[in-house]
Amino acid sequence: MATVSLGPGTARRDVLTRRIRLLVAATITYNAIEAVVAITAGTMASSTALIGFGLDSVIEVSSAAAVAWQFSAREHAVREAREATTLRIIALSFFALAAYVGVDAVRTLTGTGEADRSLPGIAIAALSLAVMPFLSAAQRAAGRELGSASAVADSRQTLLCTYLSGVLLTGLVLNAALGWSWADPVAALAIAVVAVKEGRDAWRGKGCCAPSSADFGTGPASAPADLRTVVTPPAGEADTPRAASACTCCG
């Protein structure tokens, strides 16, 4: 009979929850500024990619706000109950972004619009490329340790912003330096494709988690012999065995 650790204890979960709240607040603040700059600069330059990047920032704000709502609950059970709703909000946000950016990029490629150069756009893309990896990595680490698929999904959305920043920066620089106006809508289409993939993953709950022993039940009738486990609590907690969380994060 195998024995597995329950995961972080109550005190550690509280620390991780507070950390996620702080990271979410930082993400919301930065993305709000990023959205205003990107959408304003994109509108002035008629840049589909830049506007799409700004809208992605708006979506990141809504995603982070959903995670903040989830983690505003004091009880761990309530936070877990809100997880599915949070993941749905994140997924729908991705799909909305992909639809808008994809349609507008095709419109631009067919000759109904052409992007101008945008130095403010280049600046905000470069800044995001430097800032976002740190926010994403910190939230992903905390979310995985806590076993929260929604926190990890939100960190992946923040990481997506890093990739989008690189794609956007490439398109804007090519347009500014070489006059390749087609680079902007092509960059926008790349943003749309990635957004669809991330939306599907969030909808399916693929933030980071795989089924644990709790998903197979704890009784002998519901669990295969090689999957039945006795879960032992962390040191310092009660010795009574408990069911493991249904979300066992990978990596």
Q: CA 188 to CA 97: how far, in whole Å?
A: 11
Tell me the residue range of the domain where 98 lies.
9-209
The pair of structure tokens assigned to 90 is 């994140």
Residues 6+ apart with CB under 8 A from 211: 246, 248
- The widest CA-to-CA distance across the chain, in whole angstroms, is 69
Residue 219 within any structural domain of the chain = no
Provide the number of structural domains found in the chain: 1
Q: CA 101 to CA 231: how far, in whole Å?
A: 47
pLDDT tens, N- to C-terminus, the chain (251 residues): 455 555 667 788 888 888 888 888 888 899 899 999 999 998 998 887 788 888 888 877 887 787 777 777 777 777 777 777 778 887 888 888 788 778 877 877 776 666 778 889 999 999 999 998 998 898 888 888 888 777 787 787 788 778 888 888 888 888 888 888 788 778 778 878 888 887 888 787 654 444 343 333 444 443 333 333 334 444 444 444 443 443 444 43
| Under 8 Å between Cβ of 125 and 169 | yes
CATH of the domain at 98: 1.20.1510.10
Q: CA 237 to CA 221: how far, in whole Å?
A: 29
| Under 8 Å between Cβ of 96 and 59 | yes
Residue 115 within any structural domain of the chain = yes
Q: How far is CA 108 from the centre of its chain?
A: 28
